[in-house]
A and B are shown apart, each in its own frame.
Chain A
């Protein structure tokens, strides 16, 4: 039943249909998820806005009536690339454009599990432009049909089984092609360029390369793609994923190499944690509610905790990991990025550059991490109820004498006016007892608490805590003290909570969908700028070097446990307490 309007369509008829349906739909918030998800998808309104600035039917305006809708980022107009992109449209609507997404390393795990499914989900949600092509590129010999077959095995119609699912899948697969080639071969990329041109049929060409390959061939691929397969008349963008080097020097080197072939605004460094729903929501919570911002400082916040845990080990894939370790793999990027978003000052606007400027300021105000503020751990084998779990060094891909940390806890400090003295604790580990990612904001105790006698001597027991659970079971809750109903005065910590599952029936889109869409749209808010990356490495590099030079032995902890107790002593040193191990939370 869907009215198939494509975001890139210039048909004014279709456009009006879209506006019309928007008006119908907005008054009801409980409309079917189909429509709900179409209206907000930022492609439509913004592109339309860009498309026909003079048409008088601003979707933005329509949406505003509902008090819900559109995006801050439409300021993206001022961004040169966006302007560049939109010009050909606004001229006459005659020139159509075509988007090609080339997944370099198409036969890899990430491509199969994340990238192709995310692309399909975007297509399914009508978030991709009408003319688009997906190319897989890898060394393996494969036909288009084989690629399609491989992709289709992982595709599912997410959200719910809606109509047209099979139909959609078929149409998507028809847009998928494969090209086999070496990663360092200019020739092969030139061949790819020919194929791309064929599909583009003379339309304005926009090319996105997703590098899903090992870091040592990043530069080769970028060189070949840039010199041989760049778009001539549209844009060319490259998405790269961690690792971005393993310290300041190697990261700086990588950036320099990439910049030989690409301008900074062509490089999209993904940190998929920034695409997580609750991380996106962090700024919304802070900046669109009056009740949080006044509390967002050292006056009221005693410490902030960023916690990441996995309940499995390397499981035979330790080769890559062993070279990096948990600090580089999780802390220096994911957790630090969240920290920067959490702690930044209010940006001038929600534009990418404004936000990234603020994040860099936070990173640059931070004290480089000291060895005494870090605890490292490594999991060891453990037998429980007849089952044996392997140690990290039991992994055949890991050297027997490896000292690589699979767990780390750290205390960081931001030496600025807002956060002076507030410990930002991070904890990340593999093979722990739960799988979880969360942000915990622990507030100070109530000064001169009238109810202090109810709490005994441990005032910390009674502090408020705001928890953003990023995964699993997305939720926000605020721990408050509350009177237990009944005669007498007994206090109790209970939660003011918002469980996403209970309130939002829709499945939450995968982080990759959001980030791919952003890259297509040239929205850089959630990507990491090179100066951010430099600042991030500057904080961790001295420590990482020291750990390696001094060969600090990690504290061993059993597979499936709560991690090394050392992290408690680290917290204690800063007079705080881990909120996730307090016994209240499961």
Chain B
């Protein structure tokens, strides 16, 4: 493998082949310490030096991708700035020790408080992601994890709860149990009401204890229902903010349910927080292949010339789940698939896909371009939307329930569990190119992918080989986000043999075949970014506004007119209406072709 690599401080270890040997670990901690703690306090050079020896496999190319402008203002991560030259400096052992000693005095610490620690997301995603980061030596040396929730629980009970979901991902490497114990020792629990400043003040006290006078950086992860977002933010901000470091809050969808409620939420949050303290997660942006989308586009010559209406006929963003709400429809029924998947995940991917080349890879530059795309888009029209809802289905003796069979869903619910939509970007690059989205629950497979359908070859010399349907012969670029991450380009090719028979085959890259490492969960990436102050993958409030502006009118119309969804059997390919929607725009869903 030739790697043209760069690395963002400790990340380089996780993404490269650093063995988890103890010396390496030691080095990692140091790396992390310096990157978090030194900030403005120590000359950069010192931090670099303290790192130098411990970064055996950092390829000496300055990181271009992750260094963010904002980060450099507010929270410099010094190792981001490691230059080629500096890396070659190796200090004598004694001097290095001195340096470390100096650092110890001024160490900073990060406290991560998971608000809503007993919830499902916290158990299944957040704590495991935090452990994985710890396991990969990506967390600073001094960190504390606090669970906060209403239930009464001891630290030991929390640890017990967390430990059940922890696994050593990637492979069973040495020190796994040991690492797990070390991690759990950093986990604590505080029970309190979400709207009680007093309870948060108690938390603050405990946090201070653990911080031990170091510079305190605090990250709150709000894993709670949206109606108590504001209350929790108020209390955390007023009673548990960091006095000398930073305080950041991660919030997850739903960010309201339309333009108004979203704006109200933003206003409320901004009473207590600055924009740059709010980290709105869209975990799809943390997916490996979504990250890779920009790399593909901007670091290869061969794609960018094709990236426009001149060559692309349609773009399809497809999300499907092979299960229904399964007794958890209460939350979903209030939102529906459009709000749950389309308005955020798929729209975000679309914006990344369609944006103009940003000035740099800095968070603000990228988000500026994304907002431009969203603002160039036509608000979604009712006639460009198909909604569906799954009904029960019996197959092979097994009965699958309908959506309204879910006890947590009203019997007469019209909430869509499936939607297909055609969106348009009215700018010079994309005028007239339909961006089709499709998202659904209880379909026949589980999949998320981006499909770029190219136009047919004008004046194709081989027309006869394809018959009249030129669609059969178009190229297609597929980025499969999950499962089985892959990129492939469908090309026409001659079937080997005498004669001239053409055939569609794939130029492909299967991640599983090329990269043996397990791909980190999206939450790991995003948590790490939040700790580092990297905002590239988080949603800015103007992006959120623009996104809602596209969907709010149609959502209102659907609800006001009480549009009845098209029913489709559990486990099917979804309502056929989706095909008619595609046909109206002269395209074809390529995920349902025979070739799939």
Q: Which residues of A contact B (CB under 8 A)?
A: 29, 36-37, 39-43, 60, 64-74, 122, 125, 127, 277, 280-281, 283-285, 287-291, 293-295, 300, 346-347, 349-350, 443-446, 448-456, 461-464, 466, 474, 476-478, 480-498, 500, 503-504, 506, 508-509, 513-514, 517, 583-584
Contacts and interface: CB of A to CB of B under 8 A. Distances in A.
Given A72-B462, A72-B464, A474-B496, A486 B517 contact: yes
19 contacts: A36-B495, A64-B465, A285-B491, A300-B301, A446-B298, A446-B299, A450-B298, A454-B6, A454-B61, A454-B299, A456-B4, A480-B302, A482-B487, A483-B295, A484-B15, A485-B519, A487-B11, A489-B291, A492-B2
A417 B5 CA distance: 37
Given A486-B15, A503-B505, A491 B295 contact: yes
Contacts of B445: none
Interface string B468-500: 110011110100000001011101111111111
Contact of A487 (B460, B473, B495, B525): B525
Contacts of B167: none
Contact of A506 (B2, B63, B497, B515): B497
A485 B288 contact: yes
Nearest to A447: B301
B357 interface: yes
Contacts of A280: 494, 500
Contacts of A445: 301
Contact of B473 (A288, A444, A464, A474): A288
B475 A72 contact: no
Given A69-B501, A72-B465, A284-B502, A294 B64 contact: no
Which of A74, A486, A497 has the largest count of B CB atoms less than 10 A from its CB? Answer: A486
Nearest to A346: B461
Q: Which has the most chain A C-beta neighbours within 10 Å: B61, B357, B488?
A: B61
B39 interface: no
B374 to A, nearest CB: 21
Given A444-B301, A487-B138, A496 B507 contact: yes
A42 B500 contact: yes
B54 to A, nearest CB: 16
Contacts of A494: 509, 514
Contacts of A500: 496
A509 B138 CA distance: 55
Contacts of A39: 501
> 9 smallest A-B Cβ distances: which pairs?
A453-B64, A488-B11, A486-B15, A489-B65, A64-B467, A496-B507, A42-B499, A490-B5, A40-B501
A477 B488 CA distance: 11
Nearest to A493: B2
Interface residues of B, number: 92
B528 interface: yes
Contacts of B488: 496
Interface string B343-365: 00000000000000110110000
A39 B495 CA distance: 12
Given A300-B301, A349-B461, A484-B515, A454 B496 contact: no
Contacts of A64: 464-468
A481 to B, nearest CB: 4
Given A68-B495, A489-B291, 18 more contacts: A284-B500, A285-B491, A295-B301, A347-B461, A448-B357, A452-B64, A453-B6, A456-B4, A476-B491, A478-B302, A480-B296, A484-B5, A485-B15, A487-B11, A487-B136, A491-B295, A496-B487, A503-B505
B391 interface: no
A443 B305 CA distance: 12
B8 A489 contact: yes
Contact of B520 (A70, A285, A456, A487): A487
A448 B477 CA distance: 24
B181 to A, nearest CB: 23
B580 to A, nearest CB: 23
Contacts of A125: 498
A493 B514 CA distance: 11
Nearest to B525: A487
B457 A293 contact: yes
Nearest to B361: A450
B398 interface: no
A155 B447 CA distance: 50
- Most interface-central of B4, B466, B524 (chain A CB within 10 A): B4
B493 A284 contact: yes
A462 B6 contact: no
Interface string B517-530: 10110001100100
Contacts of A291: 302, 306, 311, 454, 475, 477, 489, 491
B264 to A, nearest CB: 35
B461 A492 contact: no
A565 B230 CA distance: 70
B462 A488 contact: no
Given A40-B497, A125-B498, A483 B505 contact: no
- Residue from the set B299, B456, B492 with the largest chain A CB neighbour count within 10 Å: B299
A274 B201 CA distance: 81
A489 B304 contact: no
B292 A483 contact: yes
Contacts of A448: 357
Interface string B72-108: 0000000000001000000000000000000000000
A487 B528 contact: yes
A349 B505 CA distance: 24
A490 B6 contact: yes
A451 B495 CA distance: 37
Interface string B137-154: 010000000000000000
Contact of B509 (A284, A287, A482): A482
B517 A453 contact: no
A281 B15 contact: no
B12 interface: yes
Given A40-B501, A284-B462, A288-B502, A462 B496 contact: no
B498 A41 contact: yes
A466 B84 CA distance: 31
A125 B499 CA distance: 12
Contact of B492 (A288, A481, A514, A584): A288
Contacts of B456: 290
A350 B499 CA distance: 13
A68 B493 CA distance: 10
A445 B301 CA distance: 6
A69 B465 contact: yes
Indicate the member of A73, A453, A488, A503 with the most B CB atoms within 10 Å.
A488
